[in-house]
Amino acid sequence: MLHEKLTNPKSIAIVGASNNVHTPGGRVLKNIIEHNFKGKLIAVNPKENKIQGIKCYQNINDVPKVDVAIIAIAAKFTLETIKVLAQQKNTKGFIIFSAGFSEKDAAGKKLEQDIVEEINAVGGTLLGPNNIGLINQNYAGVFTTPIPKLDKKGVDFISGSGATAVFIIEAAMSTGLTFSSVYSVGNSAQIGVEEVLEHLDETFNKNTSSKVKLLYIESIENPQKLLKHASSLIQKGCKIAAIKAGSSSAGSRAASSHTGALANSDTAVDALFKKAGIVRCFGRNELITVASIFMYPELKGKNIAIITHAGGPAVMLTDTLSKNGLNVPEIKGQKSDELLNKLFLGSSVSNPIDFLATGNAEQLETIIDYCEHDFSEIDAMVVIFGSPGLFEVFDVYDVLHKKIQTCKKPIFPILPSVVNVKNEIDYFISKGNINFTDEVLFGNALGKVNNTPKPRLGKNSKSTINSTKIRTILDIAENGYLQPQQVKELLLAAKIPMVNEAVCTTKQTCVKTATEFGFPVVLKVVGPIHKSDVGGIVLNITSEEKLIASFNTIMKIKGATSVLIQPMKKGIELFIGAKKEGNFGHLILCGLGGIYIEVLKDIESALAPVSKNEAIEMIHNLKSHKIIEGIRNQKGVDETKFAEIIEKISNLVTIAPEIAELDLNPLLGNEKEIFAVDARIRIEKN
Amino acid sequence: MLHEKLTNPKSIAIVGASNNVHTPGGRVLKNIIEHNFKGKLIAVNPKENKIQGIKCYQNINDVPKVDVAIIAIAAKFTLETIKVLAQQKNTKGFIIFSAGFSEKDAAGKKLEQDIVEEINAVGGTLLGPNNIGLINQNYAGVFTTPIPKLDKKGVDFISGSGATAVFIIEAAMSTGLTFSSVYSVGNSAQIGVEEVLEHLDETFNKNTSSKVKLLYIESIENPQKLLKHASSLIQKGCKIAAIKAGSSSAGSRAASSHTGALANSDTAVDALFKKAGIVRCFGRNELITVASIFMYPELKGKNIAIITHAGGPAVMLTDTLSKNGLNVPEIKGQKSDELLNKLFLGSSVSNPIDFLATGNAEQLETIIDYCEHDFSEIDAMVVIFGSPGLFEVFDVYDVLHKKIQTCKKPIFPILPSVVNVKNEIDYFISKGNINFTDEVLFGNALGKVNNTPKPRLGKNSKSTINSTKIRTILDIAENGYLQPQQVKELLLAAKIPMVNEAVCTTKQTCVKTATEFGFPVVLKVVGPIHKSDVGGIVLNITSEEKLIASFNTIMKIKGATSVLIQPMKKGIELFIGAKKEGNFGHLILCGLGGIYIEVLKDIESALAPVSKNEAIEMIHNLKSHKIIEGIRNQKGVDETKFAEIIEKISNLVTIAPEIAELDLNPLLGNEKEIFAVDARIRIEKN
């Protein structure tokens, strides 16, 4: 938790304060003076007695006790200053703007660590170094402009990049979006995005806290902490949207197996966000648009009425909403005829509701009233109203404002005429509203919000798994791929249904086993990793003669040590995988098996632990889900059984964290049973 | 072609002119007066002698001869006025703002038709009715504001919606995008978007015409005209971006076959745009961003250097470009070390080139020079430079402006600080530059531009097709599905390779045929449409006994009239389809066959005629292309043969336009041969 003195100080010292407001130390002082700080301000600068009207101390040793120090001096002078403040001045909150620490070189990193130690020793909190600071209801401790409009019901914004925070605030200024707080974590020496979120979770008060959190993240150091507090906040009624930048470079890392190739760490980020219920954004405008949607009441259903005096944007919005799984349903019936009669001839009420270029404020009010009270199929309204520039539209925006305040159904305003009726839009925003200027950005963002699942918090049933046996096998296992027999034992202990199999090194045992299993059988090479690449799989062997021929062929493959024999099972090829993703833990993957994983990349992934319900959700989200369901006269797969195996694999890797990669590929499934046919497990102990 | 007098009049009459600039007739006069019209202005209004300083006639019969009439009076008075102007005043250009025509009711439609006839009779041109007018270098004949910055090298913009045109102009104002002309076609009574584009094509002058065209379209009335002139303009060096709104409603139409279900008219729009080389956009901001990219030099390669003083946006842009198939390659080597030495400690030149928050104009110049001259792997630069608000950045933007003017490689400016350095951005734009404010919108748009193919204009080889035979079959065919024998003859005439087959109604002929073909064989029910749904396909019949059993089973199916027998062929299931899409002509489709069409919807489509080269491009664009290529130890399909059959199907429907739907599903293909195994053809004669 952040020290309370950092967020609500009674006194603040600016070390490196200046009369020059074009320097960080000058600007931050000006910002604090101009933005409502009620406590005591202290300036520190060896060359001044008074700065911007504030008393200035030349020497840090001379300053009185102070809650927060904002430090804007060269890196090399910071440690000594902080020592004095921490040890002698009872300072608990530190914000270090200065650069030249871990982002620069090894010496900088050492210095940064020393500072953190000093601050830790007194139980203090550090934001930065190399950040822009902190803004909240109590003070504007940043050296940047603009200071956004502050409102305790505005968004809490935590940023891993100071410049990005500034650009996001700038872009938000014209929309009406307000801020409750802005935290810039800089190098995250002590406090990163996760820790600020933890703080917001632990101090959350449902009556007074903001319910919207925005994150800009470049590196997730503690995924489990992020998951815990994000899902906790969302369960308390908050909404969270985040950008995790750096998704592409992570994807370039090579990996040795299918799972490895697909499950890059960006997939892990996706899985984490999905599990937590975070809306993932990819750009500043998208983040702002999603945040703005968060500030309006939540959609209770998917049916949207579009109300407009201009056809084009309404058509584009209809397209966009439809593409995002939302509906713009036709409005019909007596009430709709009644409404039509109250509008100018040529209007349309079938949705979009188009009340023509001549439509007025009174008509807008009537339309909204019908949508609110009479059209029960409608869950929310979007009003698109601009101007060709002939006259003012204050009256229209007054109606809109009034209806947003009073209607139970959410009303989203799209006011595109940013030039023609700029004054009216500014007036509308000044009354506490948020405007969307582009219907397509809005529609995509609304779809994204609506399509983000709630936090996935199902519980895993672990009753059947033999964890003692699993630990016994793994404790003696070595790094690298497990041998077929070890794989078999491990999967048996995890209660994964497997097709019968035996490893044979001679023709004779091979024939004997096949006779036991019954023909047809399958032979697979043991030794090479990608069996099908080397022609090491022979399916549907129907006779002893063919069996011997296949055995001979397979044993000639380079690296072949023996053959694996299985009865030939029929069914749809499925895939389940697990992959350790550093500190994210394990990713669990599923899809259709065989070559379709590689080619069509139709894989769903989730962060372990995965419950059966979450597994069912994964299966439903596959593009190829219809094949699993069964289409036409082709029988499908028992989804419950499939989900249970996914859950069991999740349980297995939870007990066996040293499993780096696991592939069940393929499993064969039909409407009655699912068997793992081939499996690989790679161990990586630390 | 539009009459020259409409676009370059020597005189303009405003019918319904007014001193009240809050009316269309008042505002359009004001706009024309204020924006450079050099000719003679005439006002017409029964109640005035002078309007806004212009002489006013009370009666239309009294006005002198006039080139263009802009009409802003009630619909019911328009026809008489137009008669006088057309017949007596030698007026050739008409713009009708008034509403109340075909968009209102049948009487309005009749009135609109009568007006068009009057204007056609004198060889005149009509824009509208129900539009906002026309802006070009010669006059600002619109009743709306704002009038955009005009520049003959700016964009030519044709809009099917007046309000949308206004909102697009408004949104473009702050970016620096300029306009050469804006055409609002309203009801398109005589002249629609296609006709304006035709005009721009026919009057195109490579030295003086704008090279960028933007379209906002709600309905494509003449797809072939659009295709012809769009691809012609693009071949002359133009770039075209377009929004076709209304994509979703079209998708809801039911259809009776797979092809029908997939090939909705929005697919046809996609196919048309792809064939023409038009960049398809879905929203106003996207259209403006794409247009802005068009105004910079074209990318010569995919390697982008990102130059910034702020890490976050550069990371987000890297992600976005990567997702769109563009590269942000690592920059290494001696020259890069040299550059690094010229920047502040802590900078990075590995790309993104980050020269830190303290980076200055001089350093930016140095970096750009290295990218231009020394880093040969770099094709284009993006400079992201904002401000935390501490000081002005005029010097930085001056460098940027100078380098954009002088460098051969394109430099795209992203200046996100729309609040902190608004003055500097305005100054930068005032020098003729265009700014992008959001890196992700920019990156997606650049990707879209780069990924839009050039016009597809390959020629079809038709030498082998038997068109006489095809016409003979079709001339006697009736509406509905063709019989198997007719299908067979038609495909033979079109030189489509087909698997051997025969229709049998008795066990005896069935056994005889199977013996001729050789076992194994396949039996299929004749009668029901969706054969596999009713269990009407039996594969891999290996003996006479099994054949007879299958025959008996199939003949019991409801609607079964006979069985179709084929030798059992092996290969990858492929699909080729054709579907008539109204006035777009035929869509040709291809993909992997069988149930994967339905489930994975991995289909490529193109507008007929499709050449072999275009067919190869379609095959390459399939997500499942790797399966067709052959992966691992599975052999693929001869792509050339696949493409040839696609071309032949295109040739067939060109000769046989009454083919409403055609499915080859499946074809079986391997590395040597491809056979159509099953086919359906539906005829719809007008």
| Chain-centre distance for alpha carbon A308 | 34
Q: Helix axis angle, A361-369 relative to A394-406, nearest 10°?
A: 20
Contacts of A312 in chain B (CB under 8 A): 159-161, 163-164, 167, 216, 218, 245
Measure in Å the smallest separation between the Cα of A322 and chain B Cα atoms. 6
B contact test, residue of A130, A442, A525, A599 with most B CBs within 10 A? A599
Contacts of A166 in chain B (CB under 8 A): 386-389, 417, 420
Look up residue A204 and give its two tokens: 């959350």
Q: Check CB contact under 8 Å for B598 and A626.
A: yes
| pLDDT at residue B463, as a whole number | 66
| Closest residue of chain B to A163, computed from CA coordinates | B310
Q: How sure is the predictor about A497, in pLDDT bands with cuts at 50, 70 and 90?
A: very high
Measure in Å the smallest separation between the Cα of B621 and chain A Cα atoms. 13
Neighbouring residues of A432: CB distance < 8 A, sequence distance ≥ 6: A176
Q: Check CB contact under 8 Å for A284 and B440.
A: yes
Measure in Å the smallest separation between the Cα of A496 and chain B Cα atoms. 28
Q: Helix axis angle, B439-451 relative to A284-294, nearest 10°?
A: 120
Q: How sure is the predictor about B194, in pLDDT bands with cuts at 50, 70 and 90?
A: very high
| pLDDT at residue B264, as a whole number | 55
Does B631 have pLDDT greater than 90?
A: no
Contacts of A439 in chain B (CB under 8 A): 283-284
Other C-beta atoms closer than 10 Å to the C-beta of B635 total 14
A contact test, residue of B302, B319, B435, B602 with most A CBs within 10 A? B319
A contact test, residue of B29, B98, B167, B309 with most A CBs within 10 A? B167
Measure in Å the smallest separation between the Cα of A233 and chain B Cα atoms. 26
3-state secondary structure of B481: strand
Looking at the domain covering B148-294, what would its CATH class be?
A: alpha beta
Q: What is the CATH number of domain A4-131?
A: 3.40.50.720
> B39, B9 in Cβ contact below 8 A?
yes
Residue B454 main-chain phi, psi, to 5 deg: -65, 160
In angstroms, how far apart are the furthest CA atoms of chain A?
101
> B387, B393 in Cβ contact below 8 A?
yes
Contacts of B251 in chain A (CB under 8 A): 322
The DSSP bridge pattern shows strands A239-244 and A212-217 to be: parallel
Measure in Å the smallest separation between the Cα of A341 and chain B Cα atoms. 14
**Torsion on CA atoms B354, B355, B357, B360, rounded to nearest 10:** -140
Q: Check CB contact under 8 Å for A167 and B282.
A: no
Q: Is-cis flag, bond preceding A388, omega within 30?
A: no
| Closest residue of chain A to B392, computed from CA coordinates | A22
% of residues, chain A, pLDDT over 70: 97
What's the angle, vertex CA B186, arms to CA B182 and CA B191, rounded to 5?
Answer: 80
| pLDDT at residue B682, as a whole number | 96
User: What's the rounded mean pLDDT across residues A665-675?
Assistant: 92
Average pLDDT over chain B reads 92
Q: From CA A439, how far away is CA A384, in angstroms rounded?
A: 8
Span A328-341, pLDDT tens digits: 998 999 999 999 99
| Closest residue of chain A to B309, computed from CA coordinates | A163
Q: From CA B576, how far away is CA B259, in angstroms rounded?
A: 9
Looking at the domain covering A572-683, what would its CATH class be?
A: alpha beta
Nearest to A132 among B132, B161, B388 (CB): B388
Q: Check CB contact under 8 Å for B163 and A248.
A: no
The DSSP bridge pattern shows strands A179-184 and A133-135 to be: antiparallel
Cβ-Cβ pairs closer than 8 A, A with B, add up to 266
What's the angle, vertex CA A447, arms to CA A444 and CA A449, rounded to 5?
Answer: 110
Which of A453-467, B30-44, B125-139, B552-566 bottoms out in mean pLDDT, i.e. has the lowest? Answer: A453-467
Fold agreement (A4-131, A572-683): no
| pLDDT at residue B372, as a whole number | 98
Span B272-301, pLDDT tens digits: 999 999 999 999 999 999 999 999 999 999
User: Secondary structure of A586-644 in the HEC alphabet?
Assistant: EEEEEEECCHHHHHHCCEEEEECCCCHHHHHHHHHHCCCHHHHHCCCCCCCCCHHHHHH
> A140, A147 in Cβ contact below 8 A?
yes
Span B362-374, pLDDT tens digits: 999 999 999 999 9
Neighbouring residues of B107: CB distance < 8 A, sequence distance ≥ 6: none
Contacts of B290 in chain A (CB under 8 A): none
| pLDDT at residue A196, as a whole number | 98
Between B248 and B528, the higher pLDDT residue: B528
Q: Check CB contact under 8 Å for B318 and A248.
A: yes
Q: From CA A416, how far away is CA A437, in angstroms rounded?
A: 5
Looking at the domain covering B500-568, what would its CATH class be?
A: alpha beta
User: What's the rounded mean pLDDT across residues A122-128?
Assistant: 97
Q: Check CB contact under 8 Å for B600 and A599.
A: no
Nearest to A167 among B322, B416, B599 (CB): B416
Contacts of B438 in chain A (CB under 8 A): 171, 283-285
Q: From CA A367, how far away is CA A460, in angstroms rounded?
A: 49
Span B120-135, pLDDT tens digits: 999 999 999 999 999 9
Contacts of B627 in chain A (CB under 8 A): 595, 599
Strand ranges in A452-530 using DSSP code E only, listed in sequence order = 480-481, 502-504, 521-526
Q: Check CB contact under 8 Å for B245 and A627.
A: no
Q: From CA A247, how far away is CA A241, in angstroms rounded?
A: 16
Span B490-502, pLDDT tens digits: 999 999 999 988 8
Nearest to A634 among B315, B357, B595 (CB): B595
The domain B4-130 having CATH identifier 3.40.50.720: the answer here is yes
Q: Check CB contact under 8 Å for B161 and A27.
A: no
Contacts of A132 in chain B (CB under 8 A): 388
Q: Is-cis flag, bond preceding A453, omega within 30?
A: no
Does A254 have pLDDT greater than 70?
A: no
Look up residue A554 and give its two tokens: 């397979």
Nearest to A319 among B159, B164, B247 (CB): B247
Measure in Å the smallest separation between the Cα of A489 and chain B Cα atoms. 29
| Closest residue of chain B to A22, computed from CA coordinates | B390
Measure in Å the smallest separation between the Cα of A621 and chain B Cα atoms. 13
Contacts of B322 in chain A (CB under 8 A): 248, 251
- Looking up tokens 């040597």, which residue turns up? B672
Q: Is the dihedral of CA A348, A353, A359, A361 positive or negative?
A: positive
Report the CATH fold assignment for A304-433. Answer: Rossmann fold (3.40.50)
Q: Is the dihedral of CA B402, B403, B406, B410 positive or negative?
A: negative
Other C-beta atoms closer than 10 Å to the C-beta of A684 total 12
The correct CATH number of B304-451 out of 2.40.50.140, 1.10.3470.10, 3.90.1150.10, 3.40.50.261 is 3.40.50.261
| pLDDT at residue A248, as a whole number | 66
The domain locations on chain A are 4-131, 148-294, 304-433, 500-568, 572-683
ipTM over 0.85 threshold: yes
Does B257 have pLDDT greater than 70?
A: no
Neighbouring residues of B323: CB distance < 8 A, sequence distance ≥ 6: A248, B447
In angstroms, how far apart are the furthest CA atoms of chain B?
101
Q: Check CB contact under 8 Å for B386 and A163.
A: yes
A contact test, residue of B30, B157, B166 with most A CBs within 10 A? B166
Q: From CA B311, how far away is CA B87, in angstroms rounded?
A: 67
Contacts of B310 in chain A (CB under 8 A): 161, 163-164, 167
Q: Check CB contact under 8 Å for B99 and A346.
A: yes
Between the alpha carbon of residue A643 and those of residues A128, A576, A615, B7, the distances in Å are 45, 10, 5, 67
Does B327 have pLDDT greater than 60?
A: yes
Span B648-671, pLDDT tens digits: 999 999 999 999 999 999 999 999
Q: How sure is the predictor about A463, in pLDDT bands with cuts at 50, 70 and 90?
A: low
Does A263 have pLDDT greater than 90?
A: no
Q: Is-cis flag, bond preceding B388, omega within 30?
A: no
Q: Check CB contact under 8 Å for B166 and A602.
A: no
Does A632 have pLDDT greater than 90?
A: no
% of residues, chain B, pLDDT over 70: 97
